A and B are shown apart, each in its own frame.
Chain A
Amino acid sequence: MPIAGDQSEAFLAHIMDAQRAMYTYVLTLVGDLVAADDVLQETNLVLWRKREEFTPGTDFLSWALSVAHFQVLAYRKRRTRDRLAFNDELIDRLAAEAPQHAAELSPRRVALVRCMAKLSPEDRLLIEQRYATSQAVGQIAEQVGRTVNAVYTALNRIRTNLMRCIEQTLAEEVE
């Protein structure tokens, strides 16, 4: 049932604001893009169902990530061990570190926009094909007339360059 409009709107704003961080957190732990989407979807639903339990004024992201953590564990239980990217020990370590990184996305997002502007047109197109239209790498390879491996390598190079650029941009801002 809908709760009072104001409360729902406020809760909605919290969920919207937290999506990037929640996705990052989940992807960090599951290491699988499709699984991350599914777990995020389940987490959103659980958060909405539990909305009465959230106390306004408290740390929403922390609460949301704890819910996401349980959803990751539930996902791992469902999957056979051989289909999991990481073992429990690594998951525990990553889970302990991930909230901090997930919570620091905002400045990185601003830096990313600047760094994207520095990409060559070809690289920017590749990123857009991969992320904006969700095309499979094989599909992209066909379109650009390159091998699948070449596209993988190029995407990886671009992401690494963007990562370096973001770190550099953030470091310059601190100075």
Chain B
Amino acid sequence: MTPAQLTQLDRRIGRMLDGSIEPAELAELQKTLLENPQARLRYHQYIGVHSLLHWEHAAPAQQPVQQPAPTPELATPTLQPTTPTLRRSPFRGRSRSVWYALAAAITIAVTAWFVFSNAPSQAPTPQPQPVALLTSTDSVVFADQTEAATPGSELAPGVLRLSAGTAQVMFQNGAVVDLIAPCAFELIDADHGALLDGTVYAFVPQRGRGFTISTDQFDVVDLGTEFGVSHQAGGDSQVHVFTGRVDVRLHDAIPARRLIAGQAVRIGNGSGIVGAVPLDPVRFGRMSEVVQRTDYAAASPSIRLRMAQQNPDLALLMSFDDRVDANDAESSLNIRAINAPVMSTDVSPKLGGGHSLQLASPAPGEAAQRLVVANDPRFAADTMTLSMWVKATPQQQVSQNTANMVFAHLISTIGPGAADSAGWALTQQQNTAGAYVRNDSSAAFNQCLAQTANLLNGQWHHLAIVWTADRITSYVDGTAVSDHQLLRGNGLDGGHNLVIGAQNEQGARCFNGLIDELAIYTVALDASSIADLARGVPPVSIRAASAVQSGQLDTSKEN
């Protein structure tokens, strides 16, 4: 291209960007760009310069914003609800819009948005200044909200009332709060919210330290952490700390009570901190970061799971509550669904809701429904606990698809090989309706553990098996029903995948019924922990610490 042509091209591109190009000129520009690679190169370079100028001048320096020290005396919530104003990016200017967009998409670090929110605006408006940003929603329904609340909306002080779903709000100081319906939450200022009623979960980055969630009874002051607060107006409250630490400041008591990661307390209405409760991530939506699955029919042929989980004692956790949970933050578990087992809303009353895994008996000649979890050495640890809820279907007998019809396998690592292949399985025996744990090896075969446990009564039961060095103990509904010497033979790890609902991947000896809250721990839980599980405490909340402290596991070492 000649210098004159290049000059003309530059002018046309410039006019296009400035919005002053005439249609005829635009058509000429398009024709030139289509026909001439050199013109396109020039176009890319010109756009690049414009883009860099835009960013170099528009973007504020990305430096940490100095936060004022948190005020030690924190005000109680202003319990005079006003509806927060949602402001949907009315500003169309480029500099702010770009950073606004970035901030809207990012729920953790908010330097850019903070800087812009504090930058002098070109046209001051009488509207209240926003203190937070609506960063995401999931099936949310806002009560009293006439304006569409979409991610990216700025939020001025006031009360957000959720009647359904969840919403995530990012405060100007960087704190991110999940509101879980039903919930009424007041945005007070850039580092302060009030929970009027319901459940919230807060993630507070370093720069947001001092962020406070108040109720009419107490303040929770963040000291760099992740925590959850549930509060029932006029009733009890709970504070759960997942990482870091918080101070709980009762309005009528001094001093503050400091809680650290793993601690949770119940606070009575007017009676202060009543006592400790089990940490419950499920209550605060901490389990919902995994793949959403309402039906395994959609999970084909293979799904990779990743889960940021908090309980290192867990090797596997599948709650079946609209998702597949796997306790494996590093390597991911690979789970396959075969013949599309489905989710059922039939769950143990003690679990209070959610879903279970439904495994139907196949017609003769058809393969069973089952889940296959990739083999993991932790499924054959020296000490181990298996916990699961089971409801066997009484009117339908053990699957017809196997010749010998001996056992229906609830869960198995036996594999397809000969009877002496290493592995373990929890089975329901035909006719006698017993629960067995079978440890296959050349030296230990079919260890019968609890023949008396009746599983075929159409009721939900909690089953737990605890392996230690040389003992194996089984529990039904929280009560120990057997305790035997464990013959390990060649070991429990035959290298087979873990199969839920059948003996092996081929689908032999399948189970007919419902399974829920399946957990495998790499530790031996004690009787009280098993009893907690049987009461419906979420498996993720159960740690081995109490077992170690109680010394109840030491019997295995004495044998």
Please report A residues at the B interface, Cβ cutoff 8 Å. Answer: 1-5, 7-9, 12, 15-16, 19-20, 23-24, 27-28, 31-34, 37-38, 40-42, 44-45, 47-49, 52, 85-87, 89-90, 93-94, 97-98, 101, 104-105, 108-109, 112-113, 116, 127-128, 130-134, 137, 152-153, 155-156, 159-160, 162-163, 166-167
The distance in angstroms between the C-alpha atoms of A156 and B10, with both chains bound, is 7
Pick from B45, B50, B57, B205: contact of A167, CB under 8 Å: B45
Residue of B7, B48, B54, B122 with most partner-chain A CB within 10 A: B48
Contacts of A1 in B (CB 8 A): 166, 168, 178, 201, 285-286, 288-289
Contacts of B226 in A (CB 8 A): 2, 5
Residue of B nearest to A101 (CB): B44
Question: Given the interface contacts A5-B108, A44-B106, A108-B52, does A98 sit within 8 Å of B44 by beta carbon?
Answer: yes
Pick from A38, A85, A101, A152: contact of B48, CB under 8 Å: A101
Question: Given the interface contacts A27-B47, A85-B26, does A40 sit within 8 Å of B98 by beta carbon?
Answer: yes
Within 8 A of A (CB), among B11-44: 11, 14-20, 26, 30, 33-34, 40, 43-44
B366 an interface residue at 8 Å Cβ cutoff?
no
Contacts of B436 in A (CB 8 A): none
Contact between B95 and A45, CB atoms less than 8 A apart? no
A-B Cβ contacts below 8 A, count: 199
Contact between B46 and A159, CB atoms less than 8 A apart? yes
The distance in angstroms between the C-alpha atoms of A103 and B183, with both chains bound, is 45
Contacts of A104 in B (CB 8 A): 48
B93 an interface residue at 8 Å Cβ cutoff?
yes
Contacts of A85 in B (CB 8 A): 16, 26, 30
Question: Given the interface contacts A20-B52, A33-B94, A86-B30, does A163 sit within 8 Å of B46 by beta carbon?
Answer: yes
Additional pairs, 11, CB under 8 Å, beyond known A12-B108, A16-B102, A166-B45: A2-B168, A3-B289, A5-B243, A23-B51, A31-B17, A52-B291, A94-B40, A94-B43, A109-B52, A112-B56, A116-B56
Contacts of A20 in B (CB 8 A): 51-52, 55
The distance in angstroms between the C-alpha atoms of A41 and B92, with both chains bound, is 12
Contact between A24 and B176, CB atoms less than 8 A apart? no
The distance in angstroms between the C-alpha atoms of A45 and B100, with both chains bound, is 11
Interchain Cβ contacts under 8 Å between A and B, 22 examples: A1-B166, A1-B201, A1-B289, A2-B107, A3-B308, A15-B102, A19-B55, A32-B16, A33-B17, A34-B92, A41-B89, A44-B101, A45-B151, A90-B33, A94-B43, A101-B44, A127-B57, A132-B58, A133-B95, A137-B18, A152-B15, A163-B48
Residue of A41, A105, A113 with most partner-chain B CB within 10 A: A41
Residue of A nearest to B101 (CB): A41
Contacts of B168 in A (CB 8 A): 1-2
The distance in angstroms between the C-alpha atoms of A137 and B49, with both chains bound, is 18
The distance in angstroms between the C-alpha atoms of A27 and B97, with both chains bound, is 14
The 3 closest A-B pairs by CB, nearest first: A41-B101, A44-B105, A131-B57
Question: Given the interface contacts A105-B52, A127-B57, does A41 sit within 8 Å of B45 by beta carbon?
Answer: no
Contacts of A23 in B (CB 8 A): 51, 54-55, 98
The distance in angstroms between the C-alpha atoms of A108 and B166, with both chains bound, is 43
Contact between A41 and B104, CB atoms less than 8 A apart? yes
Chain B contact residue count (CB 8 A cutoff) = 71
B504 an interface residue at 8 Å Cβ cutoff?
no
B152 an interface residue at 8 Å Cβ cutoff?
yes
Q: Scoring B residues 283 to 295 as 1 if CB is less than 8 Å from chain A, else 0, what string do you get?
A: 0011011010000
The distance in angstroms between the C-alpha atoms of A106 and B48, with both chains bound, is 11
B96 an interface residue at 8 Å Cβ cutoff?
yes
Contact between B47 and A89, CB atoms less than 8 A apart? no
Chain B proximity of A60: nearest CB distance (Å): 14
Question: Given the interface contacts A45-B151, A152-B18, A152-B20, does A52 sit within 8 Å of B46 by beta carbon?
Answer: no
Contacts of B511 in A (CB 8 A): none
Contacts of B248 in A (CB 8 A): none
The distance in angstroms between the C-alpha atoms of A63 and B467, with both chains bound, is 46
Question: Given the interface contacts A28-B43, A152-B14, A159-B49, does A47 sit within 8 Å of B105 by beta carbon?
Answer: yes
Contact between A90 and B30, CB atoms less than 8 A apart? yes
Contact between B56 and A155, CB atoms less than 8 A apart? no
Residue of A nearest to B34 (CB): A90
Chain A proximity of B243: nearest CB distance (Å): 8
Contacts of A87 in B (CB 8 A): 30
Contact between A8 and B51, CB atoms less than 8 A apart? no
Contacts of A86 in B (CB 8 A): 30, 33
Contact between A24 and B108, CB atoms less than 8 A apart? no
Contacts of A8 in B (CB 8 A): 107-109
Contacts of A2 in B (CB 8 A): 107-108, 168, 176, 178, 203, 226
Residue of A nearest to B176 (CB): A2
B62 an interface residue at 8 Å Cβ cutoff?
yes
Chain B proximity of A110: nearest CB distance (Å): 10
B306 an interface residue at 8 Å Cβ cutoff?
yes
The distance in angstroms between the C-alpha atoms of A159 and B43, with both chains bound, is 12
Contact between B152 and A41, CB atoms less than 8 A apart? yes
The distance in angstroms between the C-alpha atoms of A77 and B465, with both chains bound, is 58
Contacts of B15 in A (CB 8 A): 152, 156
The distance in angstroms between the C-alpha atoms of A167 and B6, with both chains bound, is 15
Chain A proximity of B380: nearest CB distance (Å): 28
Contacts of A3 in B (CB 8 A): 289, 308
